[in-house]
A and B are shown apart, each in its own frame.
Chain A
Amino acid sequence: MLQELGAQLRATSDELPTGLVSVAMERLRSATELLNWVRQTSVDPIGVPQLSNATEHAEHAAAALRLAQDAIAAYLAGLGLAAEAGAPPDGDYKAGLKEQEPAAAPEQHERQPPPEQLGPWWRARVEQLTGEAPPPPQQGGAPPERPANTAELLRRVAAGVRSGDRARLGRDLHGVNAATGLGLSAVTSPVLRRLAGDLLGHEPGPDDLQRLRGAAGGRVRSLLPGTPPAVLDTLLARICRTPQAEQTPAHPADSAVTASVLTGVLLARLGRDPETLDPGAPEPLRPRGVDA
């Protein structure tokens, strides 16, 4: 009876929606990044303060969920079931890689036009970052296979990074629409922190900034010769939870593309296949620290 209760409580704790809340936070941060870029041309706040407020609430919700998990663990410990109450596998970082179901949009979104006028804007920026021009339009024959969603794009980018093929990287990034490409910002954030942690052998902190920069910076710059150095620095600082100096908001495509390439570089440093980013793939073994 006691064992059954323990199992039920552990299941409840494991199934708390920490991954979904993490996805929400990253989507809201990504949206804020885009709107911050737009704000450079306007005095209108364009909803940025409200989005920051929303992100803060999501962060508080995530903290409350962790507290609930701690409380359940404490209760189990009180029942003498602590030894069996192992921590659930940390799969939250994969939550954003799951294919999103069509959003059950609130009413106001029904009037929203599809965000697909950004194609030339996206491709121009990809060309600037990678140095690879968009592929010419296909003359007959089957069109090139395109990533269906952001998670698939990330796996393709990681495969391009692994092979060191900048032309392929450029083709894959040019081959998606802007919404799919910009989604890389949201999807990569928890993945980057997890991969960096696996590479370092511990949760990344401010002291790890130089080490990560040394492990990944050169490869990222060689694959993305046009990326501003500040973009990579900002991404690494976020991974290491290091305070960042106030700076002009980066071009949203820069953050998205650089984050995806950095993901590929860290995966390669860990010797992992890009398919390990598939949410259905088995959880990779966490090394005790790989020499970065």
Chain B
Amino acid sequence: MASVAEVRAAVDAALQQVTEGQAAIQAAREKLGEAQQSLAAALDGSANDAVGAAHASLSQADQQLEECLGATLLAVEQAQTYTATL
């Protein structure tokens, strides 16, 4: 059976992983924004279906990353609430 100190430390280690994940998500969103701009500049006004699909997929990816980040914030809050009760 793990001790309270071990449980607390394991949660902290998990939170460290989450923090690194959040940093990767934030960096991904920045790169995604650059890609959206680059695509828009290269194909300004194109009505091609594939271009439309590319734009839509990039927007979808960004939205998913935003929701991902939001979910991690909730997870961190809940884990911290738990460790506060130990």
**Can you name the residue of chain A whose Cβ is closest to the Cβ of B23?**
A103
Complex CA–CA separation, A113 to B19 (angstroms): 13
A5 near B: Cβ within 8 Å?
yes
**B76 — which chain A residues lie within 8 A by C-beta?**
47, 106, 108-109
User: Does more than half of chain B's interface fall in helix, strand or loop, or is it mixed?
Assistant: helix
Given A5-B42, A104-B26, A117-B5, CB of A31 within 8 Å of CB of B73:
no
B42 touches A27 (CB 8 A): no
Query: Would you list which residues of chain A between 35 and 59 have a CB under 8 Å from chain B?
Result: 35, 37-38, 41-42, 44-48, 50-51, 53-55, 57-58
Complex CA–CA separation, A28 to B27 (angstroms): 15
**A109 — which chain B residues lie within 8 A by C-beta?**
15, 19, 76
A68 near B: Cβ within 8 Å?
yes
B9 touches A178 (CB 8 A): yes
User: Does more than half of chain A's interface fall in helix, strand or loop, or is it mixed?
Assistant: helix
How many A residues have CB within 8 A of the partner chain? Answer: 71
Complex CA–CA separation, A106 to B5 (angstroms): 25
- Which residue from A12, A20, A53, A115 sits with its C-beta under 8 Å from B16? A115
A27 touches B21 (CB 8 A): yes
A230 near B: Cβ within 8 Å?
no
A112 touches B27 (CB 8 A): no
A75 touches B78 (CB 8 A): no
A54 touches B71 (CB 8 A): yes
What is the distance, in angstroms, from B79's C-beta to the closest C-beta of chain A?
4
Complex CA–CA separation, A103 to B58 (angstroms): 24
**Can you name the residue of chain A whose Cβ is closest to the Cβ of B64?**
A61
**B73 — which chain A residues lie within 8 A by C-beta?**
106, 108
Query: Would you list which residues of chain A between 96 and 130 have a CB under 8 Å from chain B?
Result: 100-101, 103-106, 108-109, 111-118, 121
Binds B, one of A179-187, A205-213, A237-245: A179-187
A108 touches B80 (CB 8 A): yes
**A103 — which chain B residues lie within 8 A by C-beta?**
19-20, 22-23
Given A15-B31, A64-B61, CB of A42 within 8 Å of CB of B82:
yes
A17 near B: Cβ within 8 Å?
yes
Complex CA–CA separation, A50 to B39 (angstroms): 33
Interface centre among A24, A106, A108 (most CB of B within 10 A): A24
Given A5-B42, A78-B48, CB of A178 within 8 Å of CB of B13:
yes
Complex CA–CA separation, A179 to B13 (angstroms): 6
**B77 — which chain A residues lie within 8 A by C-beta?**
47, 108
**B19 — which chain A residues lie within 8 A by C-beta?**
103, 105, 109, 112
A61 touches B61 (CB 8 A): yes
Interface centre among B11, B17, B73, B80 (most CB of A within 10 A): B17
By a beta-carbon cutoff of 8 Å, the part of chain B in contact with chain A is: 1-2, 5-28, 31-32, 34-35, 38-39, 42-43, 48, 50-51, 53-54, 57-58, 60-62, 64-65, 67-69, 71-80, 82, 85
Could you write out 10 A-B pairs with CB less than 8 Å apart? A9-B39, A12-B38, A17-B27, A17-B28, A17-B31, A17-B35, A27-B17, A57-B65, A58-B21, A103-B20
Give me the 9 closest cross-chain CB pairs, A-B, nearest first: A27-B21, A47-B75, A115-B12, A54-B71, A57-B68, A50-B75, A68-B57, A64-B61, A61-B64
Identify 10 new A-B residue pairs, CB closer than 8 A, beyond the known A21-B65, A58-B68: A24-B22, A28-B68, A34-B14, A47-B74, A48-B75, A50-B71, A58-B25, A112-B15, A179-B16, A182-B17
